[in-house]
Amino acid sequence: MKIKVPSAIIALCAIAFSAPQVQAQELPQLGSSPIDDVVSAMTLEEKARLVIGYLPALRKVDRRKMDFSVLDFDYPGLGFAIGKVDRLGIPATIVSDGSYGLKKYIKNPDGTWGTTAFPIPILVSSSWDTELANTVGAAYGNEGKEYGVDGLLGPAMNIQRDPLLGRNFEYYSEDPLLSGKMAAATVRGIQSNNVGAVIKHFVANNQETNRIANDTRLTTRALREIYLRGFEIAVKEAQPWMIMTSYNKVNGTYTSERRDLLIDLARGEWEFDGVFMTDFNGTGWSPWQVAAGNDLIMPGTTYHRQNIIGAVNDGTLDEKAVDFSTANLLRYIVKTNEFKGYDYSGSPDLKSHAETARQAAAEGFVMLKNDNALPLSPQTKTALFGISSYVLNISGKGSGNVRSDYVVNLSDAIAEQDANVSDFYNAYIKDVVDNTPKPQRKFFGNVPLEFVEQLPESELIEAAAKDSDVAIVTIGRNAGEGSDRKLKKGDWLLTDIETSMLKKITDAFHAEHKKVVVLLNVDGVVETASWKDSVDGILLVWLPGQEGGQAIADVLTGKVNPSGKLPITFPNSYFDTPTHPNFPHDYVPPREKGVFDYAASMSDTHENGKSMRQEKPESEWVKNVDYTNYEEDIYVGYRYYDTFDKPVSYPFGFGLSYTTFKYGKPQVTQHGDTYQLDIDVTNTGAAVGKEVVQIYASSPANPAGQPAHELIAFAKTPLLQPGEKHSLKLAFSKKDLARYDSSRAAWILDAGEYVVSGASSSRDIRSNTAIGVQKEQLLEKTTNSVQPEAPLNVIKPCIDQSGQTIECS
């Protein structure tokens, strides 16, 4: 690998040859002079240009052919570049989207995209394997590095508060510990390439409906224990180079304008020392954002720059705040591969990344049901039903979507297929391909061809039931950024066609004593309770990335034993969720009614020096659209279902295997503020396999109320042979056992007994032990940041006369 001459040296030479010698010596240079000296040498104009990002650089031209000096910074670009100031040796650097792969906007000279579509993050977290998350992050971080990208806008790690949240596929879990650990591992993987990771969206950004202006209202306990906790873990364990603030407000103020959140909490309490950037075209007011410690406005426009300069000049923004952000950005720039002169190849090792994508996909599949239907023997003749068996959904929609050069469909990977069934679907696909005009290019990618589910004739199904050994029926769904999912047929529920397809297939195959297996090729949770009893097997394959078909075949045939477990609960009904009264599940956005969308027009990124920032009068605010009250408080996901004893379709942490495991009793030893837990796991079945062990803790009762139990640690065994025993070592801390006490602004470890369990899911506790805490301990005093503006009517557990835990408020 050639090493390029660092930009700082080029800049110095340029100055040496083009300007009087004395001037070159007097000017500080980034990299060789202290950061403060470089900041002091910058004009206000230069600093204001640096703290705004600009231009979708990768979209227009190959970075190597790019001359940033010809760019007019007044160009109201869409973002993606930061910098530059030649005279001080500050190069331009580039960030690109990267929630689950590198997003590129231009093709390689040979016409390929040359990027890998990895499985979606909810699939990676279903592996409960932090090593795997690290490997995936390292692979796509490497693609960033080899295409000259200095920072990746990912991982995204908001809590999957409600199953209909449109971006759940891009997030990790309903649980903050699992989210935080997965994000930390991904960050470490990305940054192992010296490419910066940008964790996002900070914070409590849990709906897409009116995402740019919604006010999240919640208690500081829920904020600390649920919504901030994952970010805290990722910051402390992996030191991401950047954090992207979210679009929404929290307790009345935009996150990007909250100094108490950015400076007091993240920088002060967590010692975050990177850069804060806004989410793209966020609605905050740039001078307030900079004053709050939001270092980078993405994307920058003339208007942002003018506002920052104007505010400094009229005394409403202290120039020291601009200097502070400038210094943070310079510290980022000196770390980059660009600054260090790395000569990127433009050709990452796509073969090995494809292998990583395939392995990762198979590790994250979750077997929800298996009545002796799987694995299939190698000679099994398979009837592949459902259009998604032939056109797999591989990635979610939106900014994180990666362009891959090919997709391995399930139909490409299954050897023995019923030809009549395949012919039926292939004929339809050919018809759509031949008769649909070429798809249009959109900002987020090509608009894919739309295939709708086809109902095969009864005769075809009945013949297949006679001719083949098993029916595989793939149900496909896809969601994306910008809108939430819908509580309707075709999204949460099966469509009428899917329902009758399943009925006809199960009737015909069961009449022949043959099995029916459903593959859920979905972006998120779907309703399963009404139909799961009618089929023999269910494998949740999420959106498995470009190698998905092969990975599915690996698991169906038993080449890979499924070991994934759910990172989110599958409730029986959407109306069982704790969040449904406070989530816009029934909201129809104005644009879908053909009406002007007030919220979508809100932005301060308009020209003529006039603020276009519009605020609706409070009297017109719509619940769950303009504001959302998190009345479920800390009782999100299994914390709710398990505390209030609600039946669910598939619990958090659930997943079957082709083998079985026995758990030993956990042994806990304390070392200061941390605990080590040892637990034996034995493979008691006939197949080799891995097991995800989850450790939950139940706290002693306290007046504030507490969940039945909470995840405090998890680990996955290596591949165990039948009969093999493995001893897992896990660690957790006092803080993992503690609760946040809003009235004292502190993390408290209550006195009493903590029951610590080894579990195979949140509802399958295998063994217990107990830890005693003699005296209440105040573990950490915090700032009193982000207080609610008004009290919230949150649920609390109470015990009724029959001893049942019920909801009180």
Asked if 795 contacts 784 with a C-beta cutoff of 8 angstroms, the reply is no
With respect to ligand BGC, which residue has the nearer C-beta, 59 or 735?
59
- How far is Cα 507 from Cα 516, in angstroms, rounded to an integer? 10
CB of 600 to ligand BGC, least distance (A): 12
Residues 6+ apart with CB under 8 A from 710: 177, 639, 696, 697, 699
With respect to ligand BGC, which residue has the nearer C-beta, 153 or 178?
153
With respect to ligand BGC, which residue has the nearer C-beta, 280 or 658?
280
Residues 6+ apart with CB under 8 A from 631: 581, 582, 792, 793, 794, 795, 809
Torsion of CA 117, 122, 123, 129, to 10 degrees: 110
With respect to ligand BGC, which residue has the nearer C-beta, 280 or 324?
280
With respect to ligand BGC, which residue has the nearer C-beta, 603 or 742?
603
The kind and range of the H/E element at 692 are strand 692-698
Of the candidates 204, 187, 205, 206, the residue with the CA atom closest to the CA atom of residue 144 = 187
Cβ neighbours of 586 (radius 10 Å): 10
With respect to ligand BGC, which residue has the nearer C-beta, 294 or 389?
294
The kind and range of the H/E element at 727 are strand 725-733
With respect to ligand BGC, which residue has the nearer C-beta, 445 or 653?
445
- How far is Cα 33 from Cα 20, in angstroms, rounded to an integer? 20
With respect to ligand BGC, which residue has the nearer C-beta, 79 or 758?
79
Which tokens sit at 620?
A: 């017109």
- How far is Cα 138 from Cα 145, in angstroms, rounded to an integer? 10
Q: Can you give the binding site for ligand BGC, defined by CB under 6 A? A: 97, 153, 200, 279-280, 399
- Give the distance, in angstroms, between the CA of residue 285 and the centroid of all CA atoms in the same chain: 27
CB of 707 to ligand BGC, least distance (A): 30
With respect to ligand BGC, which residue has the nearer C-beta, 399 or 657?
399
Q: Name the one residue in this structure whose structure tokens are 């029934």.
A: 586
With respect to ligand BGC, which residue has the nearer C-beta, 164 or 383?
164
- How far is Cα 672 from Cα 683, in angstroms, rounded to an integer? 33
List, as one string, the DSSP characters of 765-804: EEEEEEEEE-S-EEEEE----S--SS-----EEEE-TTS-
The kind and range of the H/E element at 358 are helix 350-364
Radius of gyration of the chain (CA): 27
Torsion of CA 571, 572, 577, 580, to 10 degrees: 120
Per the rule left: phi > 0, alpha: psi between -120 and 50, beta: everything else, 138 is alpha
With respect to ligand BGC, which residue has the nearer C-beta, 171 or 390?
171
With respect to ligand BGC, which residue has the nearer C-beta, 294 or 659?
294
Asked if 777 contacts 737 with a C-beta cutoff of 8 angstroms, the reply is no
CB of 397 to ligand BGC, least distance (A): 12
CB of 450 to ligand BGC, least distance (A): 23
Helices assigned H by DSSP within 495-593? 496-511, 548-556
Asked if 413 contacts 552 with a C-beta cutoff of 8 angstroms, the reply is yes
